[in-house]
Structures are given as structure tokens and as C-alpha cells.
A and B are shown apart, each in its own frame.
Chain A
Amino acid sequence: MRNAAIFAALFIACVFLPPWLRKAGSGIFDEFRAPIDVLPAALGDLEKYWALNSNSKKALLEAGRDLARLNASYQLKNMENSVLREKLARYENFFRIPSYDKYRMEVARVARRDISAWWQIMVIRKGSAHGIKEGCAVISSGGVVGRISKVGAYTSVVELVSSSKFRMAAYIEGENRPVIYQGAGAVTFHEACGEVTDVPIDVSAYSNGRPLRLWTSSLAGTFPDGLLIGEVKTLSLDSDGVFKSGMVLLSGELSSLREVAVLVPIENASK
């Protein structure tokens, strides 16, 4: 009886609490929960480390040698990038063009992903302590991953590009007229997909037998131009005949990503 009364009191308190208090409560809960999200990921890393450590000395030496080669090639690419950056800076300085560096990249490990009929989110192991803010773009080598929807101190929640709550301006390959992309939510046993709408009627889904790609647009300032969202698989005329809409096939990587990069606007970062 006493427990029921406590439960009822808590329930009523939850319903009638002022919004700011409920938000604060939710934030505190998330912060307490964050280690639980991070722990399995960290344990996974540890497990992998020990699994690798149990290899023979010879295998480790070979792996170390491969790694050294890989590192060397990355270092080389890094140097090339530095040279290119310097060259770009010189040109910008020469032509007095303002620098185009609008974002810095914050690389983060994926702690947990929740891809179901209800949620299409991912938790990453970096948060406001690393300058990440709500609305920041999240990308990977395969293109757009999503957008930060919630930020904790050391974790952030990413609304995935496949989520039906994710909408953004985009461009179809070879076009300069903006279209709208929206995630289509989860479809069981199918690849992640989204929907493109407001496509001008003279645009076709295929060009030379190859599906056209959907690129990000910098119109709204969240994403830079030209990152891959997916491939436009179908386009058909809407019933009103004004626009076309169709299906966009997203990268299959979404369900297996281990690491992503958060694009933190430089203005925000400096603040």
C-alpha cells in the first residue's frame, strides 16, 4: 500500500512538474545513464585488446609491421594534406578570400546504437566537453550519418539519417535546385532508406543507367555542401503533378559504424 502511494505520488509529480524541472530531471538521468551506455563499448574495446594480445608473438610482429606501414602511409597523406592546406591558405591570402574552414571535426567512437521501429539513434562517446552542440552534423567516410539531437557532458545522441525525424535540404547530382530529404524510419530486413521530395519534374532518377546520388546542401548551415546522403533509387510524379518524390538508398554502414566525425562549427567551437 505504502509503495503504491509512493508510486502514485511520483507519477503525479512527473505529470505536474514544471517543464524546466522535468527537462533537468531528464538531463540528470541521462548523465547517470551515460556510463552504462559507454561501459559495454569500453568493455568491447578491452575484449578486442585482449583477444589481439593472445595472438602469437609472430602474428603480433606481423600485425605491428602492417600497422607501421599503414601508419607511414597515413603520415604521408597527412603531410600531403598539410601541404595542400598551406597552399590553399596562400591562395586565400593572395586573392584575399575568406577562409572556408567552417567546421572542425571531432572524431568519436560509437557507444551504442538503437535502430528499431521506434528509434533510429546512436550514442557516441563525446559530448559538450568536446565542444559538441545540438544540431551538429555527424558524418563518416560513407557520407552523412545524422545530426546531434541531445548532448551530455561526455556522450551525445545522434538522430540517424534514416530516422523519420531527420529532414534536411539536399541536392541531386548534377542539379542546383534544392530538394528535401527525409528519413523513412526502420523497415525490418531492409536496407536503411529515406525519401526525397520536392524534386523538379524534369529530373530523372538515373543518368546513363546509374542511379543519381543525393548530396548535402549547405543552405541551412548544418552540413557542408557535397557530402553523400545516398543514391536515388526511384522517382515518380506526385499526384498533384508539381514535384517528383522517390526513395533514397542509404549507406549500409549505418548499422556497423564504430567511429564517426562530428562537424563542429568553428564559431561555436571558439565560443
Chain B
Amino acid sequence: MRNKSVDILENSNPRIRIFYMLFALAFLILAIVLGYRQIYLYDYYVEKGERQSMRRVIEPGARGDIFDRYGRLLVTNEPRFSAVVYFNEIRKELREEYFRLKKKYLAAKDSGAEMPSVAQITKQARANVLNGYVDRINMILGSDYKLADDDYDRHFRQKALLPFPLVKNLSAREHAILAERIPIDSPIQIYTDTSRYYPYGARAAHVLGYVGSNVDEIDASNIVGSDLRTYSFTGKIGKTGVERAFESVLSGDIGAKIWVVDLAGYQYDNVVNVKPKKGGNVVTSLDIDLQAVIEDSFGDRKGAAVVLDVKTGEVLSMVSKPDYDPNSLSPYISYKVNDEITARDAWLNRATQGRYPPGSPYKIITAMAGLMTGVIDENSVKTCNGGYKVGSRIFPCNKRYGHGEVDLSAAIAQSCNVYFYMTGIDADIKSIAATAKDFGMDQPTGIEIGERRGVIATPEYKREIGYGKWLGGDTANASIGQGFVLETPLEMAAFAASLARKQTRTKVSIIHDPSRKADMEYHNAVPIPLSDVHYKAILQGMIDAVEKGTCRRSKVEGLASAAKSGTAQVPINGKPSTLAWMIAFAPVENPQIAICVMVEGDETGDVAGGSTAGPIVRAAFEAYFDKGAQ
């Protein structure tokens, strides 16, 4: 008997073999592709699978602290405690609550009620569970907190790996109570974030600056897992002042956690944990005691003051009034606070960003221009009759009936405008501008927190800003620091420091560096090209100003100081007003500190250099030298 299958084979259509072959070929291709994918592309798929199942959480490091020159803490971080839950910890509860609600609605549906959608039930289940936790916290603390963030659906969709805040800003006491009363394995956890804390409140607010939320994506490209889907905590970034200038030092090293997640996006295994690190500290050159004294002497007045170490150019104090408490800007700036600070015009750092006509302290520049060009010498005497006619206009002196005959020192001591009108016009605007340029009056002082440059009055500048041809009256104005001349209080303080060292420039720094070698090369300065006799004549004028001239109210008994006051007229916000100025340094023999004070008046004549700025200078000298004596 023949085998039946053999018969079938023999009797079969030969074309069927082609089918077999095609079938075999298809299987071969499948096997090859399978092998290719399973063996050759094994690593690729493993990596891809890992990428799909891993998530990275980036956490910025805490910012570094800021100190004053004596090591007193000016800015630090304050812990902020929040009670949080991680969604993966409560997934079982969420699921149970979902099914409970679904069962309830199904039962209600039988009696004709409408059945909510799956999304609605899910949302309600999340709300119930989360509110249940808040109720538990309230029960423990005896408080009445509400859910901190009611947008839990968005959090679940976009930031499921980050802790969800149940209650924010717990006090240290509440944190301690919760830590004790909540079991360690409870889904409720305490999350510690930081906010910036300024122990001295508004002191040196403009110098120290403040921070804001870093809304830009944190650069985590150098942290492991840069190709993974990344969630990030919001960091902080310096917005102004030292906080901004030294961002790269202060900002901490970011940390990262890599989690393995399941299909639903819940984390279940932490495979990488790089802890964030605190940023570096910054030691500023400020003396917070001196800062406090000067700020207090301003009272409610608007203005600015800068005190510099004459030798090193370090800023000992920088005041800008009105100010604000940076603690009120942390962790975020509310509309109310913003509006209040804006209304008081307190955002501006007047010391570095406010440009004003410097008034009579600028006469020192005019005097030097006159001495350098030879139009005057130390003994040149000019007659002041209370005014000086330039063209058809009479430019008044600050003393209505004139100073009579005055020499250079007396003109400086009594701040005689007429003397400097004459000297300025004789020396010409070009030489005044050149002298001002030598002192870097239109160049940055080098302070790290940013500044506006001063403006030197020149015919070119006047033309550039569209005010036309330079007139003789413009030179007269420039000779007494008015008209087109604009300087910041910082620039004028640097000028005072340079003058005290008999050099042309002072490089200013807000950083305290005891090892700084502050020589002429460091300051990019040269000696003032004046003979000792000429320099002494100017110095004598400034000493006399303190002893018997316009700066009498800055005098500190037993301290030899040199000063020059000024009262400039200027429109502020379209309203005519007066600025009170004073630059000074002390002791005369071996200058240690230089100061510039500028006070804005509310209306014409309500402030004056000698009477308004003088007492502030005196308070600063007393505070500095009393401390030195101690």
C-alpha cells in the first residue's frame, strides 16, 4: 500500500512548490528581521526602552550666602517647609477612591441620575484623596489650611514625579509637629525648599539685590541623563545687585534623580541620585554698621551716598533711598508689593543708576583745568560781584551781593560761582572736558553690580542730543557742574577717592579682597598732573570749606577732613527741584575713606549741599572713625 502523503505530493500541482518556496522565503525574511532586531539591534532597543521608562528630576542647589567685610551674614537661605505627597505613594488610594465613586454613581444611575465621565470621576477621586490628607494635617495642627494647589490634574499630567504640595509655608513649629505625628511611612512628606532671607531687612537692599524664580529651563546638559524626559524644580536667579552680578558664584550645583517609572508614569525605583550642592559665598566690601548709620541719617529723604576705601576702591557703604525690604520680594513679588515700591520710586539704585548734575563739587575739575592750562594759579584773585555776564545773560553767584575778591582756595571754600565761571570760560570747555576725561568721569568705575556712565559736557555731546550750537553760557554752566554735565553719586565718590590719593582714577569694587594690590596699575591711574603747590591750593580750599566754609556741618571735631559741597538745580519728573551734594575725604594727611552724598529735594530750595548733605557726611565720618578708634 502506497503512502497517501506521497500520492498527494506526486499528484499535486507543481506550482504549489513555488508557493512553498515563497512561504519559506517569507519565513526566512521574518527570521532575519527578527534576528536583526533581537540580536543586532539589542543594545539600541534596550537603551530606547530605558529612555522610555526613565525620568529625570532636576533640583537646583541652594544659593550661597553673602557677607559683609567683617563676616556678618547679609543674605542667606531660609528654609520653607511644605507638606507634600508623591502621586506614586497614593496611587492605591486613588484607585480605591475611583472605584468607590464609580460604584456609587453606577448605583445612582439605576435610579436615573446622570453618570459622570471617567475623567470627571478621576478628578473627583484625586480631589477627595488630596483633601483627605489636608484634613489630616489640619487635625494634627489644629489649623484650617486649604489645598495649596487645586490644579492637581495639571500636576499629575506634567509633573507627576515632583512632590505635590498639600500645604505650603509651614512654620518650623508646624513642621516639627508634623514630623513627629505623621508616621514615617505615611504618604505625607515634609519637603524643604529655601527662600532668600535678608537678616538686615532693607539695609543695603539696592547693593545686595534680590532673586526671582528662574523661569528659563535650567541648563542640565552636563548632568547624567540629558537625553531623558526631565522634570525640574523651579530655581532662583539673581535679578539685581550682588545677587545678579555674582550669579555664577552664588548659584548652587544642580542635582538630579533618575527614576524608573511604570507605564502609568509612577516612579518605582531610584537609579541615580546626584545631590544638589550649595553655591559659593560672596564676601562684600560693605560695612553694615556704617551702612546703617548713613541710611538712618537720610531719614525719609530721597538720595544716595557712597563711601569708598580710598586706597583699595572698595565700597564700604552704598545707600539709595527710598529703598525696599528684599524679604518682601521672596519667594515671589506680589502685585501689591510691586505697586507699592513703584509708587515710592524705590526700585532705582540712585547711587549707580541715577545721573544728576553734580553741581559745585565739579568746580574742582574746573579749577584743575584752569591750573593745568595756566589761566589761573594758586594766587589768582578774581572779583565776585554776585553775578557774571556771559553774552546777554547774567549768571548768578550763590552769594547775592558777591564774595568780593577771592583767590582759588577761598573760591573753593565759599563755592564762589563767579570765580569758576571766569576760570571755565578762560580755560575753555575743551580743557574742562579733557580734565574730566582724565578722571574717567564718563567711564565706568568698574563696580561689578552695574552702573550708568557719567556724561561730560562737550559741544559734540550737545549737538549729538539735538540741542544745537555750543554757547558761552554752556561753558559757564559746565564750569559749576550744571547744564549738560551728569554724574552718578558713585562716579563722584570715585572722583573724591582719586583726588584724595592725588591720582586720576579709582577702580571701584563691591568685593572685599584683603590681598588686593591696589596700586596705580590696578586703578589704571596716573598721578594728577598738578604741582604740589597747585594741589595743595585745591586741598586747602576743601579743608577751609570744612573749617569755615560751606561744608561746616560736615566737620567732626579732631578729624581733619576735606570737602566740597554743591546745590544744583534740576527738574525731577518735570518739576523744578534742588539737589544737595557733598564730596569729602578724611583724614587729610593720610586719606582712608572718601564719600559722596546726594540728596534729592522735593521742591526748589528745600535742600542745600552744606546743610542737608553735610550732617550725613559727618555721621558717616563719626561712625567710621569711632569704630576705628575702638
Contact = CB atoms under 8 A, between A and B. Distances in A.
A96 B313 CA distance: 64
Given A242-B192, A242-B194, A220 B276 contact: no
Given A177-B172, A178-B172, A169 B179 contact: yes
Contact of A169 (B61, B180, B185): B180
A219 B170 CA distance: 14
B163 interface: no
Interface in A184-210: 198
Nearest to B81: A198
Nearest to A166: B184
A240 B276 CA distance: 6
Given A241-B277, A242-B62, A219 B180 contact: yes
Q: Which of B172, B177, B180, B185 has the most CB of A within 10 A?
A: B180
Nearest to B274: A239
Interface string B54-91: 00000001101000000000000101000000000000
Interface string A152-168: 00000000000011011
Given A169-B179, A219-B176, A220-B176, A240 B184 contact: no
A240 B176 contact: no
B180 A198 contact: no
B276 A239 contact: yes
A178 B176 contact: yes
B185 A165 contact: yes
Interface string B357-375: 0000000000000000000
Nearest to A171: B176
Given A220-B180, A241-B278, A243-B79, A178 B194 contact: no
A167 B276 contact: no
B79 A241 contact: no
B173 interface: yes
A239 B79 contact: no
Nearest to A165: B184
Q: Which of A182, A237, A243 has the most CB of B within 10 A?
A: A243
B146 interface: no
A120 interface: no
Nearest to A239: B275
A240 B61 contact: yes
Nearest to B172: A178
A251 interface: no
B625 to A, nearest CB: 31
Given A240-B61, A240-B277, A167 B194 contact: no
A22 to B, nearest CB: 16
B79 to A, nearest CB: 6
Contacts of B175: 178, 180, 198
A239 B177 contact: no
Nearest to A177: B172
Contacts of B279: 241
Contacts of A180: 175-176, 179
B194 A219 contact: no
B229 interface: no
Given A178-B172, A198-B79, A240 B180 contact: no
B173 A240 contact: no
A115 B176 CA distance: 27
A241 B252 contact: yes
Q: Which of A164, A217, A219 has the most CB of B within 10 A?
A: A219
Nearest to B181: A220
A217 B175 CA distance: 13
Nearest to A223: B180
Interface in A213-232: 217, 219-220, 222
Contacts of A240: 61-62, 194, 252, 275-278
A167 B184 contact: yes
Contacts of A198: 79, 175, 192
Nearest to A169: B176
A163 to B, nearest CB: 9
Contacts of A217: 176
Contact of A242 (B79, B179, B185): B79
Given A165-B184, A165-B185, A198-B192, A242 B278 contact: yes
A182 B275 CA distance: 21
Contacts of B179: 167-169, 180
Nearest to A164: B184
A88 to B, nearest CB: 27
A168 B176 CA distance: 7
Interface in B185-223: 185, 192, 194
A167 B62 contact: no
A6 to B, nearest CB: 30
B186 to A, nearest CB: 11
B180 A239 contact: no
A182 B183 CA distance: 12
A240 B275 CA distance: 8
Contacts of A179: 176
Contacts of A220: 176-177, 180-181
A118 to B, nearest CB: 15
Nearest to A216: B180
Contacts of B77: 241-242
Contacts of A241: 61-62, 64, 77, 252, 277-279
Nearest to A241: B278
Interface string B146-180: 00000000000000000000000000110111011
A220 B176 CA distance: 7
A180 B180 CA distance: 8
A242 B81 CA distance: 12
Nearest to A163: B184
A177 B185 CA distance: 25
Given A239-B276, A241-B77, A169 B252 contact: no
B277 A169 contact: no
Contacts of B177: 169, 219-220
A177 B172 CA distance: 8
A242 B196 CA distance: 11
B550 to A, nearest CB: 48
Contacts of B79: 198, 242-243
A82 B179 CA distance: 37
Nearest to B64: A241
B323 to A, nearest CB: 27
Nearest to A217: B176
A182 B252 CA distance: 28
A58 B177 CA distance: 56
A238 to B, nearest CB: 8
Interface string B477-503: 000000000000000000000000000
B490 to A, nearest CB: 32
Nearest to A180: B179
Interface in B314-351: none
Contact of A178 (B62, B173, B184, B278): B173
A239 B184 contact: no
A168 B255 CA distance: 28
Nearest to A240: B62
B176 A239 contact: no
B22 to A, nearest CB: 52
A241 B79 CA distance: 11
A182 B194 CA distance: 22
B180 A168 contact: yes
A24 B172 CA distance: 38
A222 B180 contact: yes
B181 to A, nearest CB: 5
A239 B173 contact: no
Contacts of A164: 184
B192 A239 contact: no
A217 B177 CA distance: 9
The 5 A-B pairs of least Cβ separation, nearest first, read A241-B278, A169-B176, A220-B180, A178-B176, A239-B275
10 contacts: A168-B180, A169-B177, A180-B175, A180-B179, A198-B192, A220-B180, A222-B181, A239-B276, A240-B194, A241-B279
Given A222-B180, A240-B252, 11 more contacts: A167-B179, A178-B172, A178-B176, A182-B184, A217-B176, A222-B181, A239-B275, A240-B276, A240-B278, A241-B278, A243-B79
